[in-house]
Amino acid sequence: MHKGEGYNFNKVWQAGNAPHFESLSGDIETDVLIIGGGLTGLLCAYKLNNARIPYILVEKGGICQGITQNTTAKITFQHGLIYDKLIRKFGVEKARLYLEANCTSLERYREICKNVDCDFEERDLFIYSTKNLSKLEKEVSALEKIGQQAQLVKDIPLPLSVCGAVKVSSQAQFNPLKFAAHISKGLNILENTKVLEIGKRGARTERGIIHAEKIIVATHFPIINKHGGYFLKMYQHRSYVIALKGASLPYGMYVDEDENDLSFRNYKELLLLGGMGHRTGKKGGGFDSLASLVKKLYPQSKEVYRFATQDCMTLDGMPYIGQYGKNTPNLYVATGFNKWGMSSAMVAANILCDMMLKKDNPYISVFSPSRNMLHPKLLVNALEASINLITPTVPRCPHMGCALKFNKEEGTWDCPCHGSRFSPDGTLLDGPSTDDKRPLGKRQRT
């Protein structure tokens, strides 16, 4: 297996005949500017298009070439054992609203996918634990409290010894790129148009200025530092996926609640086994550990692809969807999906479209990015940033100047503070940095 420079080994998701879009040429004007053509930006555009609100989506490369192309694409409202935690932190009503928003999202996918060739399949989802039955029991009763049926089962059809699993029925899996290719047809999209700077009434790109009343930042990690404090209230977590042929295929989707964060689903004849994650820029996990596990669990199987990607993790397990900062009335964001971005992207599109229409939406306060953020993880993030800011090595990250760490397994330079990644020649692979790496560590302006 090759290693190095931002390799993408993922050939699992193929879009078929994905549409291509022009680039911006010269200045233009619109009502809503969406920045970022991953699943989140595309679903926002799809909703605005249906609501007949004038909008333009700009993507710095091609659509769905960011995190979305390397997802494992399970669509569910059961984001790990989350509801017991949400009830304890936010109370029964907010937990119920979180569930409802994600159930609506799953329902919406079901409707759209009826007419789309995107390998959408209903599957039950199991969150299992190898050692903590009481966590599973608590989750089942939390789900009952908010009106959702779930079952505690003893066994699951994986070559693992578990103490039980929470089973929720009729969730789904699909091919995200086929889905994205379908919904993006006919939308107002400009590709190869990178936003360099965001102002009060628009954005400057490499190819002209876009004047807009409202702006939605759907760039995965938000690219503006001076509002919202996302660099403090979020970090990125990197995970690994190996696609196997010849492994016994589970009929269902399985997620590990213990430390390795494993997930299992099939896509056609392939088993996608993910996990062994770690904070981006820090040591731990990786392809080697995942490959060792594969040998143990599926000795007869053959590895056909491997890929890695990362997602933004929030302080309290709830995404940040809504007004970007307290004092930015026309600037919006959707981020922090905690590795559950399929359903969350749809939730974001529903909320943000209603906000554009000035319509009430019961979920606005639940996902508000300005909610109370006093949380021990805030200190961990601040400490991580402080240590890496004073570490006296080069190269530095152009985002905020943290010392980059070399990731031997993938041959990249990764930022432990906020998760930006660069190839050995300095090309930007993952944000929030918007610039390539410069050896002398000059900072970018945002």
Ligand X SMILES: Cc1cc2nc3c(=O)[nH]c(=O)nc-3n(C[C@H](O)[C@H](O)[C@H](O)COP(=O)(O)OP(=O)(O)OC[C@H]3O[C@@H](n4cnc5c(N)ncnc54)[C@H](O)[C@@H]3O)c2cc1C
Instruction: Write out the residues near ligand X by the rule CB under 6 A.
Output: 35-41, 58-61, 65-68, 71-74, 194-195, 218-220, 223, 239, 241, 274, 309-311, 337, 339-343, 345, 431, 434
**Least gap, CB of 410 to ligand X (angstroms):** 13
**Least gap, CB of 393 to ligand X (angstroms):** 26
Residue 68 main-chain phi, psi, to 5 deg: -55, -30
Nearer of residues 341 and 398 to ligand X, judged by Cβ: 341
Nearer of residues 129 and 343 to ligand X, judged by Cβ: 343
Nearer of residues 392 and 415 to ligand X, judged by Cβ: 415
Nearer of residues 80 and 164 to ligand X, judged by Cβ: 80
**Least gap, CB of 225 to ligand X (angstroms):** 13
Sign of CA dihedral 38, 69, 184, 59: positive
Q: Which residues pair with 215 in a beta bridge?
A: 33, 331
**Least gap, CB of 79 to ligand X (angstroms):** 8
**Least gap, CB of 357 to ligand X (angstroms):** 22
Sign of CA dihedral 107, 113, 118, 123: positive
**Least gap, CB of 207 to ligand X (angstroms):** 11
Nearer of residues 62 and 163 to ligand X, judged by Cβ: 62
Residue 225 main-chain phi, psi, to 5 deg: -90, -25
Nearer of residues 66 and 322 to ligand X, judged by Cβ: 66
DSSP per-residue codes, 152-184: EES--SSSS--SEEEEEEEEEE--HHHHHHHHH
Nearer of residues 204 and 375 to ligand X, judged by Cβ: 204
**What totals of helices (H) and strands (E) does the chain contain, helices first?**
10, 21
Rounded-to-integer distance, Cα 134 and Cα 131, Å: 9
Evaluate the omega torsion of the peptide bond into residue 54 and state whether it is cis, within 30 degrees of 0: no
Return all residues near 106 (Cβ < 8 A) that are at least 6 apart: 75, 76, 77, 171, 172, 343
Decide if 245 contacts 61 (C-beta within 8 A): no
**Least gap, CB of 266 to ligand X (angstroms):** 13
